[in-house]
Amino acid sequence: MADTQGDAYGDVESAARSAVASMGELAGIQEPLAESAYALARTLDLGVTGVAVAPIARELRETLVALKEAADAGDAASELEAFLSSPLGNAAD
């Protein structure tokens, strides 16, 4: 179990933060989801034991999946917006 005091993050929280950072800039629902993921990871780092480990780990996984899906939806929306904003046909006509 890692030390999670001060500015140092434990192993699970560090991994969660790295995964979130790889998704790029957060927007909308992603920000509270990221904070939830960090809190869940921190709970695992602090050494939760017994039957509580599995549901917390599952919730962390589901939260990270939701974050990824929100990032993918944002990317798709940006691509659609760019496509719809592009000129049609030959501009020289």
| Residue 29, CA distances (Å) to 13, 32, 44, 79, 86 in order | 20, 6, 23, 19, 28
Ordered by start, the domain boundaries in the chain are 11-85
Closest CA to 20 of 55, 68, 54: 68
pLDDT tens column, 71-86: 887 666 666 666 777 7
Is it the case that residue 4 has pLDDT exceeding 50?
Answer: no
pLDDT given at position 2:
47
pLDDT given at position 42:
97
pTM, full prediction: 0.72
